[in-house]
């Protein structure tokens, strides 16, 4: 078996008689965090404008080769608590321009756009994605310079908050929404964790913290649904996609099952 195949190879693998191509909707998300501690990303209208300006459907086709869906929420649609009533930001260049004008940024600005140097299921080609976002933002007068570093250095600098806009992603550890919301966008994670938007927003915090503290499942669902509305409206990140996870397995391998959390289990696997 081979984890994380290149999306461009999927069609060929499907035709290979020696391979069983296993697939499953991934518990993952690929996104671009705006550093809300730096201007102009402290302005919600700027963040919304940059989100409206990106053609996510085109990214799904070109970067994910169709092996994914455009994301409107941080958590994937297969996870409990998902709020399908949230309306995604449509690709709307004129709306983006209008929001920039309202924010006093109608003349545009320049930004460093950090692209991951590694391939991940939630972002199989960060450089290509960065180039597409760069082209989309140019249409509204925002000039992006693509920047990258060695992966360890990339993470170190991003954690230190050196970036303006940085590509990141996540694959869930346990199937609980808290593993996405608190890990990636809580106030605690903004201080020394994985909140690369450095976004600490009390109305959001007042939803996710009670949700993680109660064992009332229905209450948790309602709180997380509200949290998704708040996050959508505030746009601390451009939420791009949830990818489909593929694992090619040779025909003679029996009993292997794809794990939605990205783990590999071989207890019941045999070779015939």
Q: What is the pLDDT of residue 266?
A: 74
Domain-embedded: residue 121: yes
Which ranges of the chain have pLDDT less than 70?
1-8, 10-11, 21-25, 246-248, 256, 258-265
Residue 165: inside a domain:
yes
Residue 4: what pLDDT? 65
Predicted local confidence at residue 257, as pLDDT: 73
Buried b (16+ CB within 10 A) or exposed e, 156-169: eebeeeebbbbbbb
The enclosing H or E element of 34 equals strand 28-34
Q: Is 268 a member of any domain?
A: no
What is the pLDDT at residue 249? 74
Instruction: Supply the pLDDT for residue 261.
Output: 62
How much helix, strand and coil, in percent to the nearest 5, is found in the chain?
35, 20, 40
| Predicted pLDDT at 23 | 65
β-pairing, 253-254 vs 237-250, is unpaired
pLDDT given at position 234: 99
**In the prediction, which pLDDT does 255 show?**
74
Q: Is residue 80 part of a domain?
A: yes
Evaluated on CA atoms 87, 89, 93, 94, the torsion sign reads: positive
The reply to whether 204 falls in a domain is no
What distances in angstroms separate CA 14 from CA 21, 26, 249, 271, one per listed residue?
Answer: 6, 19, 11, 21
Q: What's the confidence (pLDDT) of residue 272? A: 77
Pairing of strands 142-147, 109-114: parallel
> What CATH number does the domain containing 104 carry?
3.10.105.10
**Looking at residue 10, what is its pLDDT?**
65
Please give the helix or strand (H or E) that residue 169 lies within, else none.
strand 165-171
Query: Does residue 32 lie in a domain region?
Result: yes
The answer to the question of residue 260 being in a domain is: no
Residue 2 is predicted with a pLDDT of: 64
For residue 137, is it within any domain? yes
Number of domains in the chain: 1
**Residue ranges making up the domain that contains 40:** 7-173+236-252
pLDDT at 259: 65
């Amino acid at each position: 078996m081979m984890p994380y195949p290149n999306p461009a190879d999927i069609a060929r693998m499907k035709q290979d008689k020696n391979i069983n191509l296993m697939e499953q909707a991934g518990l993952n998300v690929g996104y671009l965090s705006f550093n809300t501690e730096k201007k102009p990303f402290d302005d919600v209208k700027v963040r919304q404008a940059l989100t409206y300006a990106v053609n996510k459907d085109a990214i799904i086709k070109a970067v994910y080769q169709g092996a994914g869906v455009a994301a409107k929420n941080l958590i994937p649609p297969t996870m409990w608590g998902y709020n399908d009533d949230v309306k995604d930001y449509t690709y709307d260049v004129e709306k983006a321009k209008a929001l920039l004008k309202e924010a006093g940024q109608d003349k545009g600005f320049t930004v460093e756009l950090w692209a991951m140097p590694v391939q991940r299921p939630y972002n199989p080609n960060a450089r290509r994605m960065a180039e597409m976002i760069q082209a989309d933002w140019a249409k509204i007068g925002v000039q992006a310079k693509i920047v990258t570093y060695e992966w360890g250095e990339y993470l170190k600098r991003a954690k230190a908050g050196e970036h303006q806009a940085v590509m990141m992603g996540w694959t869930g550890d346990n199937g609980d929404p808290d593993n996405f919301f608190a890990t990636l966008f809580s106030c605690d994670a903004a201080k020394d964790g994985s909140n690369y938007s450095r976004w600490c927003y009390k109305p959001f915090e007042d939803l996710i913290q009670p949700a993680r503290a109660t064992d009332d499942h229905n209450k948790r669902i309602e709180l997380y649904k509200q949290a998704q509305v708040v996050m959508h409206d505030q746009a601390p990140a451009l939420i791009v996609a949830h990818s489909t996870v593929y694992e090619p397995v040779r025909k003679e391998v029996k009993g292997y099952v794809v794990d939605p959390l990205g783990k590999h289990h071989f207890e019941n696997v045999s070779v015939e």
